[in-house]
Every structure is written in structure tokens, then in C-alpha cells.
Amino acid sequence: MTRATLDFYYEFASPYSYLAASRLGPLAEAAGVHVEWKPFLLGPIFAAQGYSSSPFNVYPLKGAHMWRDLARLAERYGLPPVTRPEPFPVNGLLGARVATRLNDASRPAFSRALFRAAFAEGRDISDRTVVRQVLAGLGHFCDEVIDQAETQANKDKLRATVEEAQALGIFGAPTFVTADKELFWGNDRLEMALEHAVQIAHAPQAAAQ
């Protein structure tokens, strides 16, 4: 038996990534699954599929349903009423860089707070001041963190995560990836992904059979 782990790929502009990020902590803890938070960018992923914008903009009826669905799910999950970022999708690049820069212990809280700023507080998270305020609110030295987030080494680290996602066949967010490289796409699949992570960790190793 090995430790149950799950990789969580998320993008700050993605509404369902917001929901997943908000729900993930307690569910993963209850399941005994260690989650790796992997901020990445949907821009290159969508571009490679030929989308000119978010699928929710490219297909307006789908977009209209998404905002209704998001409102209903937020209520169901006990989250604040959803605010709709304008423009949508917001540019999540700075947020992704900062999340990449932070260490494993700080990344989840920052990510949840930035998502909440975007989708529950109606704030423009592409604005450097907003990112600074979110960082400061969590007790970080915000200027220092942002400077480090914008070093070439950190930019490259984020780019590597995007390439890793593409190599895995990830096409949207959120996506959960288990140790055996199974993809679970969407907030709706969080529970199944956790279950699968636990199952394969508890299963006898192939080598031991």
C-alpha cells in the first residue's frame, strides 16, 4: 500500500476550477488523499484545440447554462453568491505565476483566496493590486513574492506545468490526475478521482501479484 495522491490542475479564470478548489480540502482530507495543487494556463491548451476564447464564450448557450449552473452549485455548496468576472475569462497569468512560486503549504490557501476574489468578490484578479492584497491578507511579503513570481526560472516552471498537462492529454480545467495517469475532468469528477486515488493506493502492486 502506497500513499494516495492526486494532482489537481486548475486555472484561475476557470469557474469550475473555483468550485473544485473551494471543495477540495475537506474532501481530500476525509479520503486521506494528498493533493498536489498544479496551477496552469488554459490559454495554450485551448489554442491547441482551435478555440479562439473560452468554450463558454465560443458557445454562448453553453455559457449561459454554465453561469446558471455555477450559481446553483455555489448555493448547494454553501459558497457565497457568484460574481461574474468582467471580462470573462479574466487573465489568470499573474495569479498562476504567484501560485507556482508559493510553496506547497501556502499554495492552496492563496489559490482559494484568489478564486474567491474573482468569483465571489467581483474583483479583477488580473490587476496586480488585487493579487498583492490577496497575498498581504494571507501574511505574505507581497512585493517579494511577486518579484520572485516574475523571475525567468519561475515563469519556466509554470510553462513546464502547462507542457506536462498537454502531455497528459488535459483539455480543460479543473482536471484531476491519479498516479496511474487516469484523467478526471471537471468539478463533477472530484469525488470519483479521490475514490480512484484511494483504490489504486490500496491495491496490491502489480509486481507483488
Residue 53 interacting with a copy of itself (CB under 8 A): no
Q: How far is the CB of 59 from a copy of itself (least distance, A)?
A: 6
Size of the site for a copy of itself (CB under 8 A): 21
3-state class (DSSP) for residue 26: helix
Residue 189 interacting with a copy of itself (CB under 8 A): yes
Residue among 25, 34, 53, 68 that touches a copy of itself (CB under 8 A): 68
Residue 62 or 84 having the CB closest to a copy of itself: 62
Helices (H), ranges, 11-151: 15-31, 42-49, 55-58, 60-77, 93-101, 107-119, 128-137, 142-149
Residue 118 or 183 having the CB closest to a copy of itself: 183
Residue 65 interacting with a copy of itself (CB under 8 A): yes
C-alpha closest to that of 97 among 139, 46, 151: 151
C-alpha closest to that of 181 among 161, 165, 195: 165
Residue 77 interacting with a copy of itself (CB under 8 A): no
Residue among 64, 136, 160, 203 that touches a copy of itself (CB under 8 A): 64
Q: Are strands 34-39 and 183-185 parallel, antiparallel or unpaired?
A: unpaired
Residue 68 or 202 having the CB closest to a copy of itself: 68
Residue 106 or 166 having the CB closest to a copy of itself: 166
Number of neighbours of residue 78 by Cβ within 10 angstroms: 8
Angle between helices 93-101 and 142-149 (to 10 degrees): 100
Residue 200 interacting with a copy of itself (CB under 8 A): no
Contact between 70 and 115 under an 8 Å Cβ cutoff? The reply is no
Query: Which residues are registered as beta bridge partners of 38?
Result: 9
* Binders of a copy of itself in range 148-187 (CB under 8 A): 169-172, 182-185
Half-sphere exposure of 189 (CA within 13 A, CB side): 19
Instruction: From 9-17, 60-68, 78-86, 120-128, give the range in contact with a copy of itself by CB under 8 A.
Output: 60-68
Residue 30 or 76 having the CB closest to a copy of itself: 76
Residue 76 interacting with a copy of itself (CB under 8 A): yes
Calpha distance 187→63 (Å, rounded): 16
Summarize as ranges the residues that interact with a copy of itself (CB under 8 A).
Answer: 49, 59, 61-62, 64-65, 68-69, 72, 76, 169-172, 182-185, 188-189, 192
